[in-house]
Structure formats: structure tokens, C-alpha cells
Amino acid sequence: MKLSIKKIQKGFTLIELLVVIAIIGILAAVVLVAVNPTEQLARGRDASKLSTVSGLGKAVQSYYTSQQSAYPPNATWLTALTTSGEIKQAPTAPATGACPAVGPNVLSGYCFNTNATPDAVIFAQGESTSNRTKASCGATDILWIVWSSAAGKAGFLCTANITTYPIAGVTILF
């Protein structure tokens, strides 16, 4: 009687390995698209700007109260807030976004504007697509992160272009 020895094959074939690698690649691409790291970074920067604008707004309102109903001077508003003790130090400039070159008083990358009513606004340019959607911005609109003394809070606002920046007394959306 003859015994037959069967050869047992161990391991994977090249085709099987390529199929598994392709599936992992497809799943990684789907996750990357769903997470969208660029949008996540933009949302994080906008959250930081919103926090800073809100804090500066509270400091401006506190200054207004302590100075018998006077907002800080437009040209030196951050210096006035620091000197009066409303803030410990001026915030660092935001990494992205810009204030209009004409109109508001830009210090440390944040814009400040007052009017005779008196009302004040502090604002910075936003960038997140989800915040643009939240504020109902059009495709070419500019997203602003705004604190308004008239509203007493911070939020989002869209304008048609960078030269139509938020003005004091503006109604903001959140």
C-alpha cells in the first residue's frame, strides 16, 4: 500500500494580498473624506477666533462700564484695554483671515469699530465651511466672526465682500 503525502500550502497568494490592500485603501480614503482634516483645522481656528472675539467683547463692555459709557479709542483700543486692566495681554494675531485695509481699527489681527449710538463691534475673518453654512453665507460671501455690543454676544455674519465689513450695531447670526 502506497501512502500519499499531501502537500499543505501555508500563506496567502499574491492576489489575496492585493485584494486586502485595495480594500484597506478604499476604507482609508472613505474615512479621510468623512473626517476632512482641512475642515477640522478651519473649524478649530474659527473656534479660537470666536473665543478671542468674545473675550475681547466682554473686555470692551467692561471698559465701557468702568469709563462712564466710553469705548476705548479706536486707534489704540487694545492698548487701552491692556492699560486699564481689562485684559492681561493683547491676543496673538490669527493665523488666517484678514481685516479690511480700510475702515476698522486693526490691532493684533482683530478688527474694532464703534459708532455714535454708541455701539461697538470686534470681528475677525472666519474660514470654516460648516460655519459658513451655519451663517447662511453665499458662495462668494465673506464669513466674519463678530462680537457686537448691540447683540451682547458673539456669532457669525456674512457680507458680500471684504470691504463691506461688519459695522457697529449689526445684527449677528449664530
Which of residues 107 and 16 earns the better pLDDT score? Answer: 16
What does the alpha-carbon distance between residue 77 and residue 52 come to, in Å, rounded to a whole number? 15
Q: What's the N-to-C CA distance of the chain in angstroms?
A: 87
Measure CA 66 to chain center: 30
Q: Is the pLDDT of residue 57 over 70?
A: yes
> How confident is residue 163, by pLDDT bands cut at 50, 70 and 90?
confident
Query: What DSSP designation does 173 have?
Result: B
113 forms bridges with which residues in the sheet?
A: 121
39-52: pLDDT as tens digits: 999 999 999 999 99
- Are the beta carbons of 74 and 86 closer than 8 angstroms? no
Instruction: Determine the Cα–Cα distance for residues 146 and 127; give it in Å rounded to an integer.
Output: 13
Give this prediction's pTM: 0.77
**How far lies 22's CA from each of 15, 37, 84, in Å?**
11, 22, 62
Mean pLDDT of the chain: 85
Q: Where are the domains of the chain?
A: 46-159
pLDDT in tens, 67-114: 888 899 888 888 899 999 999 988 888 877 777 765 668 777 888 888
Lowest mean pLDDT among 22-26, 36-40, 104-108, 170-174: 170-174
